[in-house]
Each structure stands twice: as structure tokens, then as C-alpha cells.
Amino acid sequence: MNVLMFGWEFPPYSYGGLGVACEILTKGLVKNKVKVKFVVPYSGKKKPQHLELISTNKENIEINFVDSLIHEYINENDYEGKLRKLNEEIRSLYGINLYKEVYRYSQAAKEIALNSDYDILHCHDWMTYLAGINAKKISKKPLIIHIHNTVFDRSKENPSVHEYNIEKAGFENADHIIAISNRIKETLIHNYGIPDSKISVVHWGIDHENEFYNQKNPKKFQNKIVLFAGRVTSQKGPDYFIEAAKKVLDKYKNVRFVVVGNGDMLPKVINRSIELGISNKINFTGWLNQKDVFKAFKIADLFVMPSVSEPFGLVALESIKNGTPVIVSKQSGVSEVLNNCLKVDFWDTNELANKIINVLTRENLYNELKSKSEEEIKNFNTDNFSLIWANYK
């Protein structure tokens, strides 16, 4: 089976979980004898040699690059700042906002669709849905839409109407939709009017062969380490992490908190840690590549994911694979399928603090979470994606 896949980012140039998810999926498909042509924009940097990263079976994966200024999580101010640095000739080509760049990518998809050999089209998230629709019109091949998050996850307070319309068009034009959790499926049914029969839920697995899992375990610190890793945005709940940290430190001093990631809320949470008088007990690392994030997991004693809205939460599985037990919000997709972890409502910082203290101070609880969760995630893989596609072969 040949698949033409449209994505928006891919390691090592990833800014969030989507790129990692795409890499895991393509590796899993190659193992199942699926040939993938993956189309991705890149921002003028040296093109990465993805074939080396995905599989030694290089004949089954091809990366096709489309020139672009942007990545998935860039905002319009940053985008327009980049445009201002370009000369007028390039400015007239790229347009003046994010949505024109998405449209430009969709136009490039037409030529790629005409000159590629494939049985199925597969698209990841709203930035690529117009590309998938264009490719389907040209090829008449079945279109599989993969939804990792919706506009309601990205911005609950002020969802973009334009992004919503693109998502809805993608869902309506798709022959089938893969949702990464039941909570995403419910959103598609109730907020977009998509029939239940058109959606399959396939929870994420992990790449058990990722070389970074085999890094030597670093030496543990004298203090306990509690880790947050992800985009520092309202969706991920970093402010609740900081509030819980204060409550923990009021009762238990032998602990440091670490925030790995970057985002629009970073100045706010740094200032809040100063206001609470705990800035000397928190480290803010900024963005780290996957290798260093995995090192952070291995150093940590506990990983906390207090997401306000988390379609899945692959990072929780990565933490467990690196030997670190987790606490996840009940509002995350991973909480649907992961049993050997502690779960808490994101807003309940008192309960979150109590659970953190219990894991750090009760050795039996820590060891049980660690051993049972590591055993549990052995069953998390990406094989189920191929089963869904078999209907469209």
C-alpha cells in the first residue's frame, strides 16, 4: 500500500507533539509494509535527512519538502515579523498572514498529488486539510483525516472561525477520520456534526525502538525532581503546575520543580513563581530537543501533566518509558487508556499537591507506579492504524 501523507512538522524540526507523532506513525507503517511519501514544509533551514531518522528500510519512506516560513505553533505576529525581513518580491509571493501560507501549501499539494503514486491520502490537523481536499479532487483517492487537536483545544476562550471552517471542511470531505481519543471524537460529533460511524478512535502508541530511550541514566539529584514538559501555553496548564508547586513546598522542602518548554505563558509563570516566593526552587529550561527532554525524564522522580485540554498526551507515555511515573489530568486523552498513573482534575491544585507529596514520600507507591506503568505501556503501539487503512486499500 502506498500513502501520500501531508504533515506540518517532522523531527528534528518539531515544536510540539505533532511532529513526534508523525515520526512514530510513519515508522510503524513502514514496519507494516506501507510505503509513505510524507509532505512537510520547511523554513529555509538545511533539509534534515529524515530517511536516516525514520527507518533503515529507506525505500519505503520519502520526504517531500514545500518551502514555508512557519511551523505549527507560530503565531501571526511572529509570522508577520518574519515577512517584514523579506524583500518586497518575496513578500508578494508569500502573502501577509498565516492562513495565506496554509493556502499556499494547499496549492503545492495539487502538483504533488498529480506526480505521485499512492492508494490513500492522509492528512494531519487543520493546516493540511485544504491540501488533502485538493489532492482528493485531483486523484479521486480516499482521504483519511487524522485529528490530533481541534480549535476548541487550542483556544477555548476565542476559537478561530477560520480554523474551525477549515477543520469542518476537512472532516466533511474525509472518507474516514482517525481521532486520537474519545474526547476528540465527542468534540467532532457535537461541535462539527460528524456522524459517529465516520470516526475511529486510535490512541497513540510510542516508538519503543527510539535510540534516546537507551541513553545512560544520569545521576539523580539530592533533591527530588518534579517535571513539567510541554508548550508553556494555557492549554497545557503550566500555571496550575506552579500553584501546586507552592502548596507542595509549603509542606515538603526536599524538592525542586523543573519546567521544560517555551510558549506565550512563560513570562507569566516565571513572574508568578517570583510572586509566590518559590523562584529559587524552580528551573525554567526553555525548549529542549527530544534527546535532552528524555534526559530530563530520567533525572526526574515524577512527571506532572496538568493539561486543561489534552487530546491525548503522548509525553506521559514517553516519561514512563524513560522510567518516570506520572500524574495526568483527567481532562487528557491518555487518562482514558493509562491505568497505572495518578489522575487529577487540572484545576484541583490542592489534590495535585497531595498526590505529588504522596508519590515523593511513599516509596511503595512510587515503586508500584513505576513498575506497573512500565509494564502497561509495552502494549502501546501504532499497529491499529494499518488495520483502519485496510478498508481503503
* pLDDT tens per residue, range 101-140: 788 889 889 989 998 899 999 999 898 999 999 999 999 9
Give the model's pLDDT for residue 50. 33
In the block, cell 520526504 appears at: 63
Residue 98's pLDDT band, with cuts at 50, 70 and 90, is low
Count other Cβ atoms within 10 Å, centred on residue 43: 13
Q: What is the mean pLDDT of the chain?
A: 84
User: Are the CB atoms for 344 and 330 separated by under 8 Å?
Assistant: yes
In the block, cell 511513599 appears at: 362
For residue 336, give the C-alpha cell: 482514558
Classify each residue of 234-256 as buried b or exposed e, where b means 16 or more C-beta atoms within 10 Å of its C-beta.
bbbbbbbbbbbbbbbbeeeeebb
Give the model's pLDDT for residue 74. 46
Given a cut of 90, whether residue 160 has pLDDT beyond it is: no
Count other Cβ atoms within 10 Å, centred on residue 113: 22
Residue 51's pLDDT band, with cuts at 50, 70 and 90, is very low
191 membership: H or E segment, kind and range:
helix 182-192
Given a cut of 50, whether residue 152 has pLDDT beyond it is: yes
The domain spans of the chain are 2-201, 211-379
The CATH architecture annotation of domain 2-201 reads: 3-Layer(aba) Sandwich (3.40)
CA proximity to 62, closest of 102, 105, 115: 115
* HEC assignment per residue over 128-150: HHHHHHHHHHHHCCCEEEEECCC
249 vs 311: which has the higher pLDDT: 249
Given a cut of 70, whether residue 372 has pLDDT beyond it is: yes
The CA-atom distances, in angstroms, between 222 and each of 85, 108, 265, 325 are 48, 54, 29, 18
Q: Give the rounded percent of residues in the chain with a pLDDT score beyond 90.
A: 57
The CA-atom distances, in angstroms, between 309 and each of 150, 235, 349 are 10, 5, 16
For residue 251, give the C-alpha cell: 509542606
Give the model's pLDDT for residue 54. 34
Given a cut of 90, whether residue 41 has pLDDT beyond it is: no
115 vs 303: which has the higher pLDDT: 303
Give the model's pLDDT for residue 284. 97
Fold agreement (2-201, 211-379): yes
Highest mean pLDDT among 152-156, 189-193, 260-264: 189-193
What class does CATH assign to 211-379?
alpha beta
Given a cut of 80, whether residue 63 has pLDDT beyond it is: no
Q: Give the rounded percent of residues in the chain with a pLDDT score beyond 70.
A: 81
**Dihedral sign, Cα of residue 8, residue 13, residue 14, residue 18:** positive
